[in-house]
Amino acid sequence: MKIHFDKLYKDDREKELCGLGIPFPKGEVTLEKYESMCVLDKDKAIPSQFKITSVWDDGTVRYVFARFLADLPGNADKDFELEFSGKKADFEEKIDISKAGDLISVSNGALSFKLKNNTDSIFEEFIYQGKKIDRERFEGPVLCADGQKFKTVFDDFKVVETGNIYAAIEANGRFIEKEKYLSGEGIRFTFRIYVTAGKPWIECAIRLFNCTDGDFQPQSLMFEIKNSSEDKKDKIRTMVAKSNYKTSFITNDEGEEVSLKIMAEMLEKEANEHFAEVFYGTFFADCTSYASGMGICATVFQAQQNFPKAVKASSDGMCISLIPDQEETKAKSQSEPVVFSSGMAREQRILLHFHEATMDVYEINNRSLIYQMPDTPQLAPEVFEQAGIMPDIFLPEDKKIDDYELALIDKADNHVRCYGMLNWGDGPDPGYTSQGRGGGRLVWTNNEYDYPHAMYMMYARSGIRRFLDYANVAVMHWMDVDVCHYSKDDLQIGGQWEHINGHTGGSKEGNGCAGVLACSHEWVEGLLDYYHFTGDERALETAIGIGENVKKLLDTPMFRIPGESSARETGWALRSLSALYVETHDESWIEKCEWIVSQFDEWNKKYGHWLAPYTDNTTIRVGFMISVAVGSLMRYYRIFPSGKLKEMILGAIDDIVENQMNPYGLFYYKELPSLSRNGNNPLLLEAMAIAYELTGDASYLDKGIKTFKKHMSSAGYSLGQKKIIEDTVVVGSGAPKAFAQGFLPLALFYTKVVKANKLLL
C-alpha cells in the first residue's frame, strides 16, 4: 500500500513524526498478520508504531492508526510503502517510560522529565541535553477570575499511549478558589504532554472544564516559563513573533520585554488568503539564555483562529496567555469576552521547543511553522473504497464528471469560518439567526447533520488534504464545546447540544444549561472517523457518551407512542446507535435499534405511512424527514438485512414519489397547501439512491435528476467579508450544515447514476 506525501516545505525534514489512519477490508488482516506490519522507505523499515482502533465482527483488523518517523525531501513529494513483511527498523532513540509510586519518568533521548501526582507543578524534574531546568520555573496553567488567582492541583498522571517513537501522558487536575466557583465539581482541567523520540520538543495541551452550575468567565489563563537567577546574570535574548505571509519578529538582545497580542480587531483588518483550518500563520515567544547555553520557544497552535491570545518574553521569562486578561482588554475590543457555560470545555495547545542558544532564528521559526501545518501522509481513494468502510461514493477517474467534481469541492470549501476560542470549528446558521431562534444572537449549528463525517468522506473520496483539516478542526470543537461534560441533570450528561445561541444557550444558575438535547441532533459517525484518522481515544469516548445520552432520551415519554415524534427524531437516533454497534460490537446498542425499527413499523401501520403530526388537526408527509428515517433504516438493513425491513423502506420511498413530487420533477417541502413550495433538500436524493440499490430500478434515479442538477450548480469559492459579532470574527457566509446535509446524498446519487450509465449532463 502506497503512503504519499505532497510537496510542502523547501528544506529537508529528518525523522518527522507523521500519523495516518489506515482502513482494511473485512477478513484481510488478522491479528497475526497485523504484528508484521511495517512502513518502508525504499525497502528499509523506518521507526514506526501502530495501534488497532477498530476490528470487524469477525475479529480481523478494520482500522489501524500508524505513527512513523519519515525523512522528507525539500520541494518534492515522496512515497512510502506499508507492508506486512515483518521488517524491523533501527531505532536511534526510543521513548522510555517507567513508573514508581507517584512518579512517572519519561525520556526520549533528547530530554527527560518526571511527573508526580498530587502536586502544584507540571514537572517534578526536567532535563534537556544534561541541563536541569528547576521545577519552579514551570508555572501553570495559571487561572485567574475576579482578580483572584486559583490554586493549581495536578491530581494524577496516567500514560494514555506509549510506544517506541511516541507517547502521551495526561494529568487530571483542579483549580481551587475559595468560594464562588466551588459549586458542582468546580473548575477542572486536563493537561496532556505529547513526546516524540529524539526530538527536543514536547506538545502540551490544556483543556479547561467548567464543572460548576453557572457560567464562568475567566479573567485570564496563562502558562509561564521563568528564567533562573543564573540566566539573568548574562545576556538574554527575548523574542516574540507572528506570521501571516512572512513571520515578523520583535527581538531584544538585552532581555527587555517584548510582547504581542491577537484580538478581534487585528483579525478583522488583516488580509489572509489561506484556508485557515489548514494554516493561518504562527505565533510564539522565545527566551534564549547565553549563560545556560539554551533557549525555549513556545508556539501556540492556531492562535489567530482561537483568539484572544498573547505572548510575552522578558528577562524574567515567558508568559503564554491562552486567555489574556479580559479585564484589561474589554475596553479596547468590540469582541465579547470568553465565557464558559456550565458543562463546557475547551482545549488549547502549545509546542515547547528546547534548543541550543546558537540555533538560528530561521530554524526556530521553521519548527514553529511546521507545527502549525505538519506534513500529512495520505492514501489513495481506492484504499478506502476497497476497505468497504464508507458508502458507495467512489468513482474511477475516467468516470468522473469534471463539473460535478468541481461543484463538490466548491461546496466543501464554501462555509463560514468563525475565529474565536469557543467558536473555531463551528459556524452559525443565518436562517436560524434571522428567524430569531437565538433571541437576537447568533444561532450556532453545533455540527448539525454531522459536518465532520461528511468532510471525512469527502477527504477519502478526493484525497484533498484540506478536507481532513476541516473535519479535524470541527471535531476538536465538537468534543469540547458542543458536548455537555457536567450537569446535575442526568439527561444532559454526555449529550450534544442542539443548535442554539452561545452553543449551549447559556447556563441556568443551579440547573445546567438552557439548551436542548434531542435525538435528532446527536451524531457520532464523525467522532468515530476522527478517532480512526487521528488515534485520539477521546473521540471514541465522546461518541459512546453521546450514544448513552440518546438511549436515555429514547426512554423519555415523548417516544412512547409511535408517530408522536417526527421520523427525523428516531431516524437520527437509529443512525448513531447503528454506527456505535458497528464500531464496538456491543449488543446493548442494538437493543434500542430494534425498538426503533419496531416503532417505525407500528407507526406505518397506524397511519398507513410515516405521517407526522403538524397542526392540531393535520398529519402530513415531510419528505426530508422521511428520507432521514430511510437512510438510517438502510444503515441498519446493511447490518441486519430482512425482507420485512426492505419492504418498509421501499414503501416509504414509493409514498414520497407518489405524493411529494410536483409535475416539474422537483419534490416539494411539506404536504400542506401553505408549505408545498419547491423543495431543494438533497436528503431525498439519498432515498432515491437507496431505492435503486434495493431494486435495481433506474426509474428511481430519474426522479432525482432535477433536484441533483439544481444542487450541483456551483457559484465558485469566495472567502467573504470579515465581521466582529459577539465573541467571534466571522469570515464569509454559509452554515457548515449545508455540506453536512448534502454531501452524502449528492455523492451517493451521483455515483449510482454514473454507474447506471444515466446521462447527467
Residue pLDDT, tens place only, 136-185: 999 999 999 999 999 999 999 999 999 999 999 999 999 998 777 777 89
Of the ranges 353-357, 514-518, 592-596, which is most confident? 353-357
> DSSP class of residue 130?
T
CB atoms within 10 A of CB 669: 17
Structure-block grid coordinates of residue 113: 522529565
Q: Are 475 and 536 in contact (CB under 8 A)?
A: no
Q: Kindly list the distances between the CA atom of residue 523 and the CA atoms of 338, 431, 526, 584, 589, in Å, as whole numbers in the listed order.
A: 26, 22, 7, 16, 14
52 domain residue, yes or no: yes
- Predicted pLDDT at 233: 80
How does pLDDT run across 514-544, given as a tens digit for each residue? 899 998 899 999 999 999 999 999 999 999 9
491 domain residue, yes or no: no
Residue 287 phi/psi, 5-degree rounding, is -125, 125
78 domain residue, yes or no: yes
Length of the chain: 761
CA-based R_g, the chain, Å: 27
Q: At 692, which amino acid appears?
A: Y
Structure-block grid coordinates of residue 177: 478558589
Domain range for residue 236?
Answer: 227-336+353-360
Rounded to an integer, what distance in angstroms lies between the CA atom of residue 89 and that of residue 47? 5
Q: Are 330 and 339 in contact (CB under 8 A)?
A: no
582 domain residue, yes or no: no
Cα angle: 89, vertex 534, 247; to 5 degrees: 90
167 domain residue, yes or no: no
- Predicted pLDDT at 565: 61
Q: Does the pLDDT at position 714 exceed 70?
A: no
How does pLDDT run across 274-299, given as a tens digit for each residue? 999 999 999 999 999 998 999 999 99
**Average pLDDT score over residue span 465-492:** 97
Question: By mean pLDDT, which of 152-161, 241-250, 602-611, 715-724 is the weakest?
Answer: 715-724
Is the alpha carbon torsion for 59, 61, 65, 67 positive or negative? Answer: positive
Q: Kindly list the distances between the CA atom of residue 252 and the CA atoms of 235, 255, 259, 649, 691, in Å, as whole numbers in the listed order.
A: 10, 6, 11, 70, 69
Rounded to an integer, what distance in angstroms lies between the CA atom of residue 690 and that of residue 685? 9
CB atoms within 10 A of CB 192: 18
Is residue 740 within a helix (H) or strand (E), and if so which, with residue range?
Answer: helix 737-755
Number of domains the chain is built from: 3
**SS3 of 652, please?**
helix
593 domain residue, yes or no: yes
Rounded to an integer, what distance in angstroms lies between the CA atom of residue 470 and that of residue 453? 11
Which of the listed residues 83, 103, 123 is the one where a domain comes to its end?
83
Is the alpha carbon torsion for 97, 98, 104, 108 positive or negative? Answer: negative
65 domain residue, yes or no: yes
Percent of the chain past pLDDT 90, that is, above it, reads 85
Q: At 190, which amino acid appears?
A: T
How does pLDDT run across 667-688, given as a tens digit for each residue? 989 999 999 988 778 999 999 9
- Predicted pLDDT at 566: 59
What is the pairing mode between strands 345-356 and 722-725? unpaired
- Predicted pLDDT at 139: 96
Rounded to an integer, what distance in angstroms lies between the CA atom of residue 467 and that of residue 475? 13
477 domain residue, yes or no: no
Q: Please state the separation of Cα 65 from the chain's center in Å.
A: 16
Question: By mean pLDDT, which of 21-30, 379-388, 580-589, 622-631 is the weakest?
Answer: 622-631
Rounded to an integer, what distance in angstroms lies between the CA atom of residue 214 and that of residue 329? 23
Which of the listed residues 33, 58, 83 is the one where a domain comes to its end?
83
How does pLDDT run across 202-230, given as a tens digit for each residue? 999 999 999 999 999 999 999 999 999 88
Q: Are 727 and 668 in contact (CB under 8 A)?
A: no
Q: Does the pLDDT at position 761 exceed 60?
A: no
Residue 82 phi/psi, 5-degree rounding, is -100, 125
Q: Does the pLDDT at position 564 exceed 60?
A: no
Rounded to an integer, what distance in angstroms lies between the CA atom of residue 445 and that of residue 320? 31
Rounded to an integer, what distance in angstroms lies between the CA atom of residue 337 and that of residue 147? 15
Which of the listed residues 324, 344, 360 is the one where a domain comes to its end?
360
Q: Are 308 and 208 in contact (CB under 8 A)?
A: no
Dump the DSSP string for 460-518. HHH--HHHHHHHHHHHHHHHHTSB----SSTTTTT-BPPSEETTT--B-TTS-BS----
For residue 667, give the nearest of 635, 690, 700 by alpha carbon.
700
Residue 572 phi/psi, 5-degree rounding, is -65, -35
Q: Does the pLDDT at position 563 exceed 70?
A: no
Rounded to an integer, what distance in angstroms lies between the CA atom of residue 199 and that of residue 172? 25
What is the pairing mode between strands 166-176 and 186-196? antiparallel
